[in-house]
Amino acid sequence: MNHKELLQTWLNALEIQHHSEHTLKAYARDVDDFLNFCQIRGLSLAAIEKSDLREFIGHKISYDQLSSSSVQRMLSAIRQFMKWTMHAGYVTHSAVDDFKLKRQPRALPGMIDIETIQQLLEQPAPQTPADQLLWYRDKAMLELLYSSGLRLSELQQLDLSMIDFERQLLRITGKGNKTRVVPFGQAAKEALLKWLNVLPQWGLSTSPHQAVFVTKQGNRLTTRQIENRVKFQAKRAGIAVDLHPHLLRHCFASHLLSNSGDLRAVQEMLGHSNLTTTQIYTHVDFDHLAKIYDQAHPRAQK
């Protein structure tokens, strides 16, 4: 096979493994760039050395002005592709397998405090019946985002069959088609039940495999529509923050971690495959850490 055929075979294998369309497009673009670079220099896959990858990355940084995160993403795609070619028997070794760049410090996520969250979730319902219905739906979405730390795509794909109201658990299929079970709180349960009880006012029924969050026409809300409704309700609550679903996920993780200290439990609920990803939240609430230190360390007090 030539380079292009190998790339397409690899992408087909990833598609079977249920990688998202967005991920496949990014992998295709990044690896194709590298293969074009190799082709121009007359390099076969077996002949690629670390110095070639270093030259390629240097070129992308210098001429394409790629950010550190974009470079790391590109490197990850190339390493995975080369590892696959080795395991599939197309090459005998991969010189770029352990190639790494020094990772830049990861930016800390934006955060809003618990009082602001309460201001958002406890705002009064609108006056008109039509707006009230929209608020009941939006409040259920907001409560779940904050109560369970769901990703935007996970909330958007939520069906009634995934909700266990008795045990207050959600069965979520997240990144990499991995399933996890996460709890939701009493406030989220009440908001969900309220929304489902008023849903028939739109002439819609509730069946097990129906989408939980829908439009007046009964269509599943798109991710963009959910984002817009989150921003709308933040504005209605008088919150001067660019609120988006992922920020509520950040708040869920930070507030839970600062009150529990259980990093692995937070990792499990977020659906992170690597604990390092979850550790970004350990920066939060230094006042809480100082309080724990003062209470626990034998030399903290006189």
pLDDT at 108 over 60: no
pTM over 0.95? The answer is no
Say which residue, 214 or 281, is predicted with more confidence: 214
Identified catalytic residue from 189, 229, 244, 272:
272
Q: What is the pLDDT confidence band of residue 297, given thresholds at 50, 70 and 90?
A: low
pLDDT at residue number 14: 85
Q: Which two tokens stand for residue 22?
A: 């967005």
Q: What percent of the chain has pLDDT over 90?
A: 24
* 158-214 pLDDT per residue, tens: 999 999 999 888 888 877 677 888 888 899 999 999 999 999 999 887 777 789 999
* 214-233 pLDDT per residue, tens: 999 999 999 999 999 999 99
Nearest to 100 by CA among 131, 71, 121, 122: 71
pLDDT at 105 over 50: no
Say which residue, 275 or 89, is predicted with more confidence: 89
Identified catalytic residue from 151, 229, 250, 255:
151
- Integer Cα distance of 285 and 301 in angstroms: 21
Annotated catalytic residue 249: yes
Annotated catalytic residue 18: no
Identified catalytic residue from 175, 180, 231, 236:
175
* 7-26 pLDDT per residue, tens: 889 888 888 877 778 888 88
Annotated catalytic residue 272: yes
Q: Kindly report each contact of residues 118-123 with a partner whose C-beta sits within 8 Å and lies 24 or more positions away, as own/partner.
A: 119/237, 119/238, 119/239, 120/233, 120/234, 120/237, 120/239, 120/243, 121/146, 121/187, 123/233, 123/236, 123/237
Domain residue spans of the chain: 3-87, 114-291
CA 97 to chain CA centroid, nearest Å:
26
Say which residue, 181 or 278, is predicted with more confidence: 181
pLDDT at residue number 281: 56
Identified catalytic residue from 60, 244, 249, 255:
249
Identified catalytic residue from 83, 194, 220, 246:
246
**Is the alpha carbon torsion for 211, 213, 216, 217 positive or negative?**
negative
Q: Round the average pLDDT of the chain to a whole number and report it.
A: 80
**Superfamily of segment(s) 114-291:** Intergrase catalytic core (1.10.443.10)
Say which residue, 163 or 45, is predicted with more confidence: 163
Residue whose structure tokens are 């609120």: 243
pLDDT at residue number 275: 47
Q: Looking at domain 3-87, does it have CATH number 3.10.28.10?
A: no
